[in-house]
Structure formats: structure tokens, C-alpha cells
């Protein structure tokens, strides 16, 4: 729609047509790796998504998963790349929320949590880490916090009492390095981040050891704010489902490890929801 504008300086003798302002897409990534790496990995892909959707983009990294959820609900951002636990927490606050799409990585729509220790540690199970120093990533991280809390809750002790200390690192790569350097005795991390770091840095991989693997959880989804009009939601979904067919976008996706985006199948998050619900019983 165009709106008439009266030129008052010329006595209203001329009417101009002013083009409506198209607001930029406000996109946030709930970073699962450290800020520098996350920005480098996602910014170009998100910018290309905006180009294909015909919209400029305002891109930023979320400080915490909880803050990203709040911004989505308040309409301060339009779309967000969430972590699985962040999505489940958002769904509790707004049950109508549904994923726009999910990434397929390494041929799969699922990933896991790894509990890791130093290579020379005598721990072979999370029960061996009682009284030890442990690292979580974010309080809403499915793989970096919810899963180990679930494991510890099954042992009958809240995490705050089970471990001698808990450190929040804000990202999975930081947690991996914290274990490698002996800053903490153990951590729970995203399998995708761990496997990528291990492939690029064998020395780092050799310095730590996986002692536990979670069941498969649905991949972290892309979600739209409830304030986003259905027309825009549908347009962006269509762009993302075909993103792998765009030459520029596919190159950026490869740098992140994403093969394509897909509509999540029914039941993709059932295993994560079960763990999330039981882990939330602990502090």
C-alpha cells in the first residue's frame, strides 16, 4: 500500500506517493559455540536468507537461551535459531509455538549429549563425578545442562549437591576446552560441536574422553515469533526449505555443517521432552 504525502512547502499543490518502509528481519542465534565462531558461521547464511526473502537483516547473537526466548515472545526478534532445550522451554510458555524447520546434519535430524572427562581421569560414569567440578553450558541447553541434570536426578541428588562446583561456560566449545585444560573435571556437551572440534583438532580430542552418550534428541530448530504474520512466516519457511539449492547459501551451510533444512517429523522432540520434564524437577 502507498500513502499520499502533501508537499506543504508548495502550498499543497503537489501530492507525492511515498513507498512504504519494509522493516528488516530481526534474526537471533542462540549460540552453542563461542560468540566469535558463531557470528562467523551464521552471519553470511542469515544474510543470504534475507536476500532470498527480499528483506534486509539485523543479525545478532543471543546472550542466553532464556533471553532469546523472551525476545521472541515479546516480538523483539522475528526469527531465532534455538537450542533444543530452549525450544522446549519456549513451548511451555507458548504451547502454540512450532518449529519453522530443522537442520539436517551428517544425514540426521538428531544429535546427542556427551559427558566428557579428561583422558587420564578415572571416571567411567557420571556417578564417578560425585564431589567433582562440572561444567554446564547454559541452564536451558538440552545437551549441555538438561541431560546431565536428568542423569544426576536419577541418582537421587540435585546437581548443586552432587558436584562440588558448577561452572556455566555459555558454549560447548568452552566446556570442552575447560575439561581439556583441567579447569573442571567433567562437562556435558553437544555431540555436533564435539565431533567437529575433534575432527579439526585431534590433539584436543585425545586430551578428553567420552564416558556417556545420551539418547538421540531432535535437532535445534528455527522458530518464528508469535508476532510474525503468517505470510512472512510462510515466505521464510519456503526460502529455508529450498536454501540448499541456492549456490551461495549452500556454500555457507557447508561451513556450518548443515546439509539442508526440513520440516520436523512428528515425534522428533519426544525423547528430549521426556528428559526435559524430569530434569526440571531438580533445582
Domains 25-109+219-267 and 113-214 share a fold: yes
Q: Which CATH code fits 25-109+219-267?
A: 3.40.190.10
Give the DSSP letter of residue 72.
H
How many other β-carbons are positioned within 10 Å of the β-carbon of residue 167? 16
Q: Please report, in tens digits, the pLDDT of each residue of the chain (283 residues total).
A: 444 454 545 554 444 444 445 789 999 998 766 556 667 778 999 999 999 999 999 999 888 999 999 999 999 999 999 999 999 999 999 999 999 999 999 999 999 999 999 999 999 999 999 999 999 999 999 999 999 999 999 999 999 999 999 999 999 999 999 999 999 999 999 999 999 899 989 999 899 999 999 999 999 999 999 999 999 999 999 999 999 999 999 999 998 889 999 999 999 999 999 999 887 444 4
pLDDT at residue 42, rounded to an integer:
87
Cα-flanking dihedrals φ and ψ of residue 69, to 5°? -60, -45
Contact yes or no for 66/14 (Cβ under 8 A): no
Sign of CA dihedral 163, 164, 169, 174: negative
Q: Where are the alpha helices (H) located in the chain, listed in sequence order? A: 35-53, 65-73, 84-93, 147-154, 159-162, 172-180, 191-200, 202-206, 230-241, 247-256, 270-279
Start-to-end CA span in the chain (Å): 52
Q: Domain-by-domain residue ranges, the chain?
A: 25-109+219-267, 113-214
Residue 223: closest CA among 109, 111, 101: 101
Q: What top-level class would CATH report for the domain 113-214?
A: alpha beta
Give DSSP secondary structure letters for 177-243: HHHHTTSSSEEEEEHHHHHHHHHH-HHHHHTEEEEEEPPPEEPPPEEE-TTS-HHHHHHHHHHHHTG
Beta strand 186-190 with 79-81: parallel, antiparallel or unpaired? unpaired
Amino acid at each position: 500500500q502507498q500513502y499520499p504525502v502533501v508537499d506543504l512547502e508548495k502550498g499543497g499543490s503537489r501530492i507525492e506517493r511515498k513507498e512504504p518502509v519494509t522493516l528488516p528481519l530481526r534474526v537471533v542465534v542462540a549460540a552453542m559455540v563461542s560468540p566469535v565462531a558463531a557470528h562467523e558461521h551464521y552471519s553470511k547464511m542469515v544474510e543470504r536468507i534475507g536476500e532470498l526473502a527480499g528483506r534486509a537483516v539485523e543479525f545478532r547473537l543471543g546472550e542466553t537461551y532464556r533471553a532469546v526466548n523472551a525476545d521472541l515472545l515479546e516480538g523483539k526478534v522475528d526469527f531465532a535459531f534455538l537450542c533444543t532445550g530452549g525450544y522446549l522451554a519456549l513451548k511451555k510458555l507458548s504451547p502454540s509455538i512450532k518449529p519453522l524447520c530443522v537442520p539436517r546434519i551428517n544425514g540426521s535430524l538428531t544429535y546427542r549429549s556427551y559427558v566428557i572427562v579428561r583422558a587420564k581421569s578415572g571416571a567411567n560414569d557420571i556417578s564417578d563425578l560425585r564431589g567433582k567440578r562440572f561444567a554446564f553450558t547454559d541452564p536451558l541447553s538440552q545437551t549441555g545442562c538438561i541431560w546431565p541434570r536428568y542423569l544426576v536426578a536419577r541418582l537421587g541428588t540435585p546437581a548443586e549437591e552432587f558436584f562440588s562446583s558448577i561452572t556455566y561456560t555459555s558454549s560447548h566449545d568452552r566446556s570442552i576446552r575447560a575439561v581439556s585444560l583441567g579447569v573442571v573435571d567433567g562437562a556435558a556437551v553437544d555431540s555436533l560441536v564435539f565431533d567437529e572440534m575433534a575432527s579439526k583438532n585431534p590433539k584436543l580430542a585425545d586430551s578428553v574422553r567420552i564416558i556417556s552418550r545420551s539418547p538421540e534428541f531432535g535437532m535445534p530448530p528455527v522458530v518464528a515469533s508469535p508476532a510474525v504474520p503468517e505470510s512472512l512466516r510462510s515466505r521464510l519457511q519456503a526460502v529455508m526449505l529450498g536454501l540448499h539449492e541456492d549456490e551461495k547459501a549452500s556454500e555457507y551451510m557447508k561451513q556450518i555443517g548443515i546439509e539442508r533444512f526440513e520440516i520436523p517429523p512428528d515425534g522428533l522432540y519426544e525423547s528430549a521432552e521426556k528428559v526435559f520434564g524430569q530434569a526440571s524437577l531438580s533445582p
